[in-house]
Structure 1
Amino acid sequence: MKTLVICSGGLDSVTLAYKTAVERRLTRLVTFDYGQTHRKEIGFAANAAKALGVRHDVVDIATLGRFLSGSALTDPDAVAIPDGHYAEESMRLTVVPNRNAIFLAIAFGIAAAEEAEAVGIAVHGGDHFIYPDCRPPFIDAFRAMQAQALDGMWQVGLWAPFLGVDKGGIVTEGARHGVPFAATWSCYKGGARHCGRCGTCVERREAFHKAGVADPTEYDDPDFWQAAVAKMGS
Structure 2
Amino acid sequence: MNLENKKAICIMSGGMDSTLGAYMVKDMGYEIIALHFNYGQRTEAKELSCFKNICNALNISSSYVLDLDFFSKISASALTDKSIDVPTSGLGDGVPVTYVPFRNGIFLSLSAALAEKEGAEIIAIGVVEEDSSGYPDCTESFISAMEKSINLGTKDETKIKIYTPLVHLSKSQIVEHALKLNVPLELTWSCYKDEDKACGVCDSCRLRLNGFKLANTKDPIEYQ
Deviation, 1:194, is: 0.6
Superposition pairs of residues 82-93 of structure 1, within 5 angstroms: 82-85=87-90, 87-89=91-93, 92-93=96-97
Q: CA deviation at 1:91?
A: 6.4
Query: Among residues 48, 61, 65, which one is paired with 1:58 in the alignment?
Result: 65
2:21 to 2, 16, 19: 16
Residue in 2 that maps onto 1:189: 193
Describe the superposition over 1:54-94 as per-residue Cα deviations: whole angstroms up to 9, x where unpaired. Answer: 122111111x1122331100111x21111133x31486110
The TM-score, its normalising length taken from structure 1, stands at 0.87
Q: Does the Cα contact within 8 Å between 2:11 and 2:35 map onto a contact in 1?
A: yes
Report how many aligned residue pairs link the two structures: 217
Q: Which runs of 4+ in 1 moved over 6 A?
A: none
The structure carrying a bigger helix percent of its residues is 1
Taking structure 2 as the reference length, what is the TM-score of the superposition?
0.91
RMSD: 1.6
Q: Please report how far the alpha carbon of residue 151 of structure 1 lies from its aligned counterpart in structure 2 after TM superposition.
A: 4.4
Secondary structure of 1:187's counterpart equals coil
Q: 1:134 to 1:90 in 2, by over 3 A?
A: closer
Residue in 2 aligned with 1:32? Answer: 37
The partner residue of 1:101 within 83, 102, 105 is 105
Q: Does the CA contact (< 8 Å) of 2:139 and 2:167 recur in 1?
A: yes
Structure 1 range deviating more: 133-142 or 208-217: 208-217
- Name the structure 1 match of 2:9: 4
Q: Percent identity?
A: 33
Q: Is the partner of 1:92 in helix, strand or coil?
A: coil
Q: CA deviation at 1:217?
A: 2.1
Q: Is the 8 A contact 2:212 2:219 kept in 1?
A: yes
* Matching residue of 2:3: none
- Distance in 2 of aligned mates of 1:195 and 1:26: 35
Unpaired runs of at least 5, structure 2 = 1-5
